[in-house]
Structure 1
Amino acid sequence: MSYLPLIVGFGGYNAAGRSSGHQSYQRMILESLSDADRAQTLNSLAQLMGVPDAPEDTVIKGTLVRRIGSEFFDVNKAPVGKEVTLKASKDSPNSFIIATKDLPDFIPDTWQIEPVHTESRYSRVTFSQEEKLLLSAQTTMPVQSAGQLPQGFDPGAHYRSQHHPRGLQMSILGASDAVKSVGIDWQTIADSVSPDAISVYSSSVMSQLDQNGFGGMMGARMRACRATSKQLAMGLNTMPADFINAYVLGSVGATAGVTGACATFLYNLRFAVDEIRSGRRKVAVVGASEAPILPEVMDGYSAMSALATDADLLKLEGLPSGVLPDHRRASRPFGPNCGFTLAESSQYVVLMADDLAMELGAQVFGAVPGVYVNADGYKKSISAPGAGNYITMAKAVALGRSLLGEDAIKHRSFVQAHGSSTPHNRVTESRIFDEVAKGFGIQHWPVAAVKAYLGHSLGPASGDQMAASLGVFAKGILPGIKTIDAVADDIFSSRLNISNKDNELGVDNAAVAFLNSKGFGGNNATATVLSPNVVAGYLEKRHGKASMSSYRNKLSQTTEKSAAYLAEADAGNLNPIYDFGAGLIDEDKIKITADAITIPGYSKPIALGDNEGYSDF
């Protein structure tokens, strides 16, 4: 028997705000909301930003892609090392004065050291040949836009986050948001299954590269600093999963941090879907967290000519140098564009097997019957797209057709494009969609690209797509690509519906979404995501009307508790789960028999003796 992995909770934070309650999605379709929903969304964002009485314009300008704020670094005075040469020769020696304690351990043979006057605290260094010195300097960043968390929102200020890299702070808040959105106490969920039936799959692509992670450790020597005892451990790209296990869930279940470049969220989702579908796990918390808005990371992507520079944006806009481009429109998927825009995000979903969801009365926001991953084969360039994405898209659409039929695929489906906003992507990805549409007889296929609003968050990018898709299921409005005036002339769009205005599909016409992701190195992934309306019919057919009636009775309590959490979060009271040092396991009380292992603090034992399907031994 295959169990359907249901999405029973979701949460996180990106440039549009909080994901739970569809806050971030509603920020993207702000122009299409009713007056009441618009006011609620802006008020909630204002609370998140710490400016509850701010005018609408402040909230609007402080969200989505925009010029990098001073809370990260000054884009016109970004720190940089500058190598300088001091001239000298045997006939014309040179010198400088330095604190004696700052002299290097090994004095170069060409240096002569003498104390300054009678003070041994300072020394004069005289040298007779050219010397190169490294100075701390400042420079103007060529890329000045990014998808930043809402202005004023500091994730580390909401819990005891000392020494935590920003990406891990966002993991704690994002996973907490998802778990609390479920509306069922986590302890109740954990007590319902074996501890080994719970899993966490989460990671980051770039690791934790700020000063509290690998960035601080790798640069310590050159900055004349000491590496700390925490930087290496906290820099690891598996830490988002480890932090969730250790401080949010207290889980002893399965765990992993799967990475696949920009398809990382879907790689982790695939792992969870396969495990739940097989019955091996009953619950999974899945996601990714990334905080890459750092000068060094931007330098790396700029060296690949991957990012939209201010100079190139000015060329697109026909403006002279020396003025500022429209940083709000830096990311332009499927339009005339010049590169992608880096972003930060933390996105999580809680998956649950359909039988357990029925038993507990869990909300259903959607379902993920399959995620497909394929490589590109032989490549000339590791960063160039290839054939693998044709396979993943075709498989995902074929699954949707198998489950829902031809009509749903042709008339009630939509695509969440990778839409990175590069000239190469707009051509290659649109061609894939057009060819798949041709193969399945689809005309006017609605295509969205949320990176227009959020930028490219790397690992969590498909999590951004997921949160937006769940919003489409709830509201029926597909966000338009509003940063473009029109689609580019070179894209393949004869069978696609790519619009710069919100597309009011209607809830009934949003039955299935296809989340597409393309990553460096040939990391292609596409997920098939079903709407809650579709899933409701499936659950009744599979479990029967009597079970559905019992389920609905339990559901009312779940939705009530979830709504209470969302109301608190909308008021700015996030209260993330962070149980540091709580509930530690007394290993002396672990009991092992031939049939089970019992862990103190967990209500059910872990069964032993599974033959893993090898029944012929």
Structure 2
Amino acid sequence: MLNRVVVTGLGALTPLGNDVKTFWKNIVAGKSGAAKITKFDSTLFRTQFACELKDFNVTDYLDRTEIKRTDSFTQYALIATDEAIKDSGFDFKAMDPFDVGVIWGTGQGGMETFEQQVTEYALGDGHPRFSPFFVPKFLTNMASGMISIRNGFMGVNYTPISACATSNTAIMEAFNHIRLGKAKIIVTGGSEAPITPVSFGGFSSMKAMSSRNDNPQHASRPFDVDRDGFVMAEGAGALVLEDYEHAVKRGAHIYAEVTGAAMTADAYHMTSTHPEGIGATKAMQLALKESGIGISDVDHLNMHATSTHVGDLSELKAVLALGSIDRLKISATKSMTGHLLGAAGAAEAIVSILSIRDQVIPPTINTEVLDPAIPSNLHIVLKESINHKVKVAMSNTFGFGGHNATVIFRAV
């Protein structure tokens, strides 16, 4: 018999807030996190804005030694997981450390460190003066490793990578480990620190990002007829997943239950989703089947919807292929947060979970004129949040390489 899995802790470090409370408040209010880039001079770049963290100083959270030895993506992970672990209200020191694991995602890992070290070498005198922390700082698995080291978690520990579907992949893996009895608690989620000249420049050269430099806050506009690409973002989202019986026994506060999660591959294109959304449809169908429900039972869908022409439409086609969607309310919160890449699924999982807790569906902002190709029977929540009964919420993420990942949460 499979174990039930619940969410007992949340943590967030995002462009809309450096903790869960602030993040959710600004999501519900329909705020945008986009602004001109401050991390480097973007004057000569095609795109010159992003969703950066605000009023953030890493020294407020970590000591100098930790900062010296870690890349920003690991620092973001440590900060978000600290909040989630505290929020879970559990004394992990009282547990067998092998019962607690970490499955943490990132798409790029230590891009900032890699770029800095290679630049210094290229501009130097040819002598290889690399930092002894160069390799451990940029390794993609280092965030999961450092979370376990910081907290003494000795259970399963690794980093799945599936580009922008990574966080949902990590949540799915944590869900599977717990329900199979391989762990009692797993800290999961994802972090990303991609706003560097090289990373940003690469996406910009692909023309994947919006170039609405005169109006950054309105640049991410999913489903709009004039959408022109996504807005890059940085940050982290963390969840504590726990065996249901274990959580009940200790009197834990339970946010929601994870009831289903699934992945498929488009097998179609390196960077583009399948135009008919075939892989996305199958991922959602599998997650629904695992949850024991149909699409007619889902109240809220937080779409991947990055604000690209092909991606938005293919995902909507995928949703329509599921069947009756009369009660389904759709939102695309990347319109506010920007696209956190490998951390997107974690941030959006938090949004989905809190929509269940507060019975609120957040808006899709900036969409002024719906693309005429969008069917009229889709209920997309635009401009402002709505109060609505939410028992089941589903969250989609897709990634370069054709990865599709869906996670479903239900009220307990």
Same fold (TM over 0.5): yes
Structure 1 stretches of at least 4 aligned residues deviating more than 6 Å after TM superposition: none
1:273: Cα distance to partner?
Answer: 0.7
2:280 alignment partner in structure 1: 389
Q: Percent identity?
A: 25
After superposition, the CA RMSD in angstroms is 1.8
Gap runs ≥5 in structure 2: none
Q: Which residue, 145, 149, 167 being the options, matches 2:73?
A: 167
1:486 alignment partner in structure 2: 369
- Cα deviation 1:207-245 (Å, max 9, x = unaligned): 1111xx222233332121721111111100111101101
Alignment of 1:3-402 (within 5 A): 3-20=3-20, 22-30=21-29, 64-69=33-38, 72-76=39-43, 140-150=44-54, 152-160=55-63, 161-188=67-94, 191=95, 194-210=96-112, 213-224=113-124, 226-247=129-150, 249-309=151-211, 313=212, 325-335=214-224, 336-377=226-267, 379=268, 381-386=269-274, 387-400=278-291, 402=292
1:459: Cα distance to partner?
Answer: 0.6
Gap runs ≥5 in structure 1: 32-59, 77-139, 314-323, 536-617
Alignment of 1:537-576 (within 5 A): none
Instruction: Letter of the 1:448 partner, please give it.
Output: S
Alignment of 1:450-461 (within 5 A): 450-461=333-344
- Quote the Cα distance in structure 1 between the aligned partners of 2:260 and 2:397: 14
Q: Is contact 1:203-1:239 (8 Å) kept?
A: no
DSSP-derived class of the 1:338 partner: coil
Q: Is contact 1:444-1:496 (8 Å) kept?
A: no
- Quote the Cα distance in structure 1 between the aligned partners of 2:272 and 2:304: 14
2:310 alignment partner in structure 1: 424
- Quote the Cα distance in structure 2 between the aligned partners of 1:453 and 1:510: 21
Q: Is contact 1:333-1:449 (8 Å) kept?
A: yes
- Quote the Cα distance in structure 1 between the aligned partners of 2:191 and 2:6: 22
Cα separation, partners in 2 of 1:396 and 1:19, compared to 1, 3 Å: farther
Instruction: Letter of the 1:182 partner, please give it.
Output: S
- Cα deviation 1:273-322 (Å, max 9, x = unaligned): 1111111211100011100011111111122211112xxx3xxxxxxxxx
Q: Is contact 2:141-2:159 (8 Å) kept?
A: yes
Name which structure has the greater RCO, CA cutoff 8 Å, separation 6+.
2
Q: Which residue, 320, 326, 337 being the options, matches 1:443?
A: 326
Instruction: Letter of the 1:216 partner, please give it.
Output: Q
- Quote the Cα distance in structure 2 between the aligned partners of 1:457 and 1:231: 24
Instruction: Letter of the 1:348 partner, please give it.
Output: A
- Cα deviation 1:417-454 (Å, max 9, x = unaligned): 00111111121111111221xx2x22152111110001
Q: Is contact 1:331-1:451 (8 Å) kept?
A: yes
Q: Is contact 2:18-2:56 (8 Å) kept?
A: no
2:402 alignment partner in structure 1: 522
- Quote the Cα distance in structure 2 between the aligned partners of 1:371 and 1:515: 10
Cα separation, partners in 2 of 1:423 and 1:156, compared to 1, 3 Å: farther
DSSP-derived class of the 2:209 partner: coil
The alignment status of 1:463 with 2:346, answered yes or no, reads yes
- Quote the Cα distance in structure 1 between the aligned partners of 2:297 and 2:241: 27
1:178: Cα distance to partner?
Answer: 0.6
Cα separation, partners in 2 of 1:259 and 1:156, compared to 1, 3 Å: farther
- Quote the Cα distance in structure 2 between the aligned partners of 1:204 and 1:177: 19
Q: Is contact 2:306-2:339 (8 Å) kept?
A: yes
1:511 alignment partner in structure 2: 391
1:396: Cα distance to partner?
Answer: 2.2
Q: Is contact 1:174-1:347 (8 Å) kept?
A: yes
The alignment status of 1:474 with 2:357, answered yes or no, reads yes
Instruction: Letter of the 2:50 partner, please give it.
Output: A
- Quote the Cα distance in structure 2 between the aligned partners of 1:444 and 1:251: 42
- Cα deviation 1:13-64 (Å, max 9, x = unaligned): 11111343x3212112227xxxxxxxxxxxxxxxxxxxxxxxxxxxx7xx71
Q: Is contact 2:163-2:342 (8 Å) kept?
A: yes
